[in-house]
Structure 1
Amino acid sequence: MENKNHLTVVKSNKVIEASYLLSLSEQRVLLACIAQIDSMSELTEQYQFEVSASEIVDLVGLDNFSNAYRDLKKAAEKLYDRSVTIDDPDPENPKIAQRKTRWISSIDYIPGEGKLVLSFASGIIPYISKLSKEFTKYKLKHVARFESIYSIRLYELLVQWSSTGEREIEVEWLKNQFQVSNKYSRLGDLKRRVIEPAIAEINEHSNLWVKYGQRKSGRTVTHFQFQFGVKDQPKQRKKLTDEEINSLAKPGETKAAVVARLTGTLMSDFAKPGESWGDAKERKKSLKGGFNSEVQFLGSVARTYYDGKDWS
């Protein structure tokens, strides 16, 4: 399997919105295989994919290899029987309301190597390969650390609408697609066991930030309303040389102050979440310790960017 940072999952939107239930280990196996597919090329049922326990460990960042082997074996035992129900599956034949298909047509477990070898079922192949429109793609690394089986599903439903940054989802529709209608009949339980843990994991481990509200029809909550966006990308830290610092320093300006000014991080690193640039500046001025606190702060910022030499 290629570098985990480069693996990309591409699915038809029909599958993103399909009804199915998979365990966490089963989802990881399928996503690891789908990420190996060239979504623009044609896939056949004869093509075999390999996923090993060591690759799952590397992808997820697990510490316990024995758990990875155990989960892989469980996935091998149940994945063949898992199915997915796709609504309005064929745009060219609108008479078909639903299609139910297996995910895979065959699966082999090789215990000595801790490896699965599987082939996708013919019914699912059109929704994971040769895709030219109406598909969703994302980096596998953004969902690899999720522990809730619903986090991946919710993440995909949001990424599908990434161009808008918001999505309203009917409560009953979501329960049906996640197959939890008989499990969480009370809205409070659904929020506590499905929605809120998924949002917490997305916010912690993925490239998205998410918050949600709800809409009522009368006294009944009928829709969840999600707002989301891509988190700020980490800034590229530039190392500055003595020559650059000396040539750009203002009269009387310390090396620390030069570095902080040139990198543009003095106030942004100091500001609290939601605090404006001006408010951060005023709060900084009011800190106890006066000049010494200023020097210490500048020094701590500059040492992040400076090339590591002793400049005391």
Structure 2
Amino acid sequence: MRGVFLNSEHLVTKSNHLIEARHRQSLTAREQKIILSAVSMIQPDDDDFKTYEIRVRDFHELLGIEGRENYTQMKEIIKNLMTKVIEIPREKGNGWIICNWASHVEYIEGEGRIEFGFDPKLKPYLLQLKQAFTSYKLSNILSLKSAYAIRLYELVKKWQHLGRWEVTVDQLKEKLGIPEDKYKRYGHFKSRVLTSSIEELNANTDITVSFEEVRKSRKIEKITFSVRGMKTKPDSKPKPSNELEGDLLNELNQLSVGYEINIEGYKKLLTLSYFVFNDNYKEELKKLIKLVNKRIDKNNDVNNPVGLMIYILTEKEKLMKQGYHVQKFDEHELDQSGEVIPKWFEDFKNGKKKEEALINPEEQEDLKAFFEGFRS
């Protein structure tokens, strides 16, 4: 059993094929939250499913529920959950995989805990994902009341990097798990599902969503969603806005050697550094500038210093979203007479084993991205 406790800051990471699955029978909000809580307990290095334990007390605290289900109510929730199937599009586009979310779910009366086991068919879509996946903090869906809002959040979150997603009304209903005989009139679907769900997302999650209707003749055939990320959630620590054109930009430009950080580059650096390092974002930006300065002074092979810094922070952001621990920039590197990349990492790059190069596996991708950034 996993030694991982439920935490709203944990990441939910799913293959995009799983995000795009058809939900023939819609999951309730409670059922989705149980599943996604279990998904958030999967670790990036897991090579097989475990039995994931959710303590009902923790689950209720995260949801802000004051009452408690009794054994009969919990048994009914689990029984209903076990009847729900999903249809996942195969990677090569030739058919579907139809399976349940769970291989088993147990509620242990008297101990107040749920044991959740995933269907083995879901392994390629939840374990050791390297590409074509979507990640978000569990906290984003815990405060959503509507089952449709939770599902819509995942669907539009997948397209956040492009900022736009177009889908037919019929396809959207399928993905949301709306039965064919429900909300046949578009006006009912729009008011009772679409508009209300988007209001929930904009009020409670890390994205802002809007939509436009695409008509064919007089009928609404498609929906085009616009999605923007990186906004501050209401319960999150706000990013300091008074520094966008203030003393910090001047201070960073005083540190830079032979180049200037303009306001657009600064906004990107500030946003990325705050996301990755939180309260330490100022000091880490200063250290990053010093590292780039040393690279320029030593090798003179950096044509776009600001672009390089944005690249490094973007790679660190990607690693965070995959669940890796991202280290601060090493103070000791600044004392190595212009030596930006440690020798032991050069050894690793040149083919020595991880053990010989003294590299922590969790840091491998982070440092590789760091090194590749200086080569670009």
**Distance in 2, Cα, partners of 1:158 & 1:71:** 32
- Relative to structure 1, the CA distance from residue 208 to residue 237 in structure 2 (aligned partners, 3 Å threshold; closer, same or farther) is closer
1:160 Cα shift?
0.4
Counterpart secondary structure, 1:131: coil
Task: Report if the CA contact (8 A) 2:152-2:176 is conserved.
Answer: no
Per-residue CA deviations over 1:213-267 (Å, capped at 9, x if unaligned) read: 21111111111111121254313499xxxxxxxxxxxxxxxxxxxxxxxxxxxxx
Alignment CA distance shift 1:146-1:48 (3 Å): same
Structure 1 residues 5 and 213: alpha-carbon distance in aligned structure 2, compared to 1, 3 A threshold: same
Aligned to 1:66: 68
The amino acid that maps onto 2:200 is E
Larger RCO, structures 1/2 (Cα 8 Å, 6+ apart): 1
CA positional deviation for 1:176: 1.6
* Structure 1 residue 75, shift from structure 2 partner: 2.5
Which whole-Å CA distance do the structure 1 matches of 2:221 and 2:35 have between them? 32
Task: Find the partner of 1:50 among 49, 53, 72.
Answer: 53
3-state DSSP of counterpart to 1:84: strand
Aligned-pair CA distance for 1:6: 2.4
Task: Confirm or deny: 8 A CA contact 2:33 2:141 kept in the other structure.
Answer: no
In the alignment, what sits opposite 1:189? 188
More divergent stretch after superposition (9-18 vs 107-116): 107-116
2:355 maps to which residue?
A: none
How far did residue 70 of structure 1 move?
Answer: 7.3
Correspondence for 1:241: none
Distance in 2 between the 1:116 and 1:17 partners?
27
Matched, 1:27 2:32: yes
Output the amino acid matched with 1:140. Answer: L
From 103, 106, 118, give the equivalent of 2:104. 106
CA distance in 2, matches of 1:237, 1:153: 32
Distance 2:119 2:109 in 1: 23
- Aligned partner letter, 2:203: E
Q: Which residue of 2 aligns with 1:171?
A: 169
Partner of 2:205: 206
Q: Tell me the TM-score normalized by structure 2.
A: 0.58
Judged with a 3 Å threshold, the aligned counterparts in structure 2 of structure 1 residues 48 and 17 are, in CA distance, closer, same or farther, namely same
Any conservation in 2 of the 1:53–1:68 contact (CA below 8 Å)? no
Q: Does 1:225 align with 2:230?
A: no
CA contact (8 A) 1:215 1:224 kept: yes
Shift of 1:12: 0.7
- The one-letter amino acid paired with 1:187 is Y
CA distance in 2, matches of 1:231, 1:237: 14
Task: Give the equivalent residue in structure 1 for 2:87.
Answer: 85
Structure 1 residues 136 and 72: CA distance shift in structure 2, 3 A: farther
Q: Is the contact between residue 16 and residue 156 of structure 1 (CA under 8 Å) also seen in structure 2?
A: yes
Letter in 2 for 1:164: L
Moved more, 72-81 or 218-227: 72-81
Which structure has more helix as a fraction of its residues?
2
* One-letter identity of the residue aligned with 1:83: V
Local SS of the residue matching 2:120: coil
* Residues 31-71 of structure 1: per-residue CA shift (max 9 Å, x gap): 00000002453123xx2111122121222222x23259776
Partners of 2:78 and 2:8 in 1: CA distance: 25
AA matched with 2:158: Q
Identity %: 28
CA distance in 2 between partners of 1:125 and 1:152 (Å): 22
Q: 1:111 to 1:159 in 2, by over 3 A?
A: same
Distance 1:129 1:14, change over 3 A: same
Partner of 1:14, secondary structure, is: helix
Cα RMSD of the aligned pairs, angstroms, is: 2.2
| TM-score w.r.t. length of structure 1 | 0.69
> 2:131 maps to which residue?
133
Preserved contact between residue 169 and residue 223 of structure 1 (Cα < 8 Å): yes
Q: Distance in 1 between matches of 2:130 and 2:210?
A: 31
- Answering whether residue 226 of structure 2 is matched by residue 235 of structure 1, we say no
Tell whether the 8 Å contact from 1:56 to 1:68 is kept in structure 2 after alignment: no
Q: 3-state SS of the aligned residue for 2:116?
A: strand
Quote the residue 2:160 is aligned against.
162
Match of 2:18 in 1: 15
Give me the whole-angstrom Cα distance separating, in 1, the residues matched to 2:96 and 2:40: 26
In structure 2, what is the Cα distance between the partners aligned to 1:152 and 1:235? 26
Cα distance in 1, alignment partners of residues 40 and 72 from structure 2: 22
1:83 Cα deviation after fit: 0.9
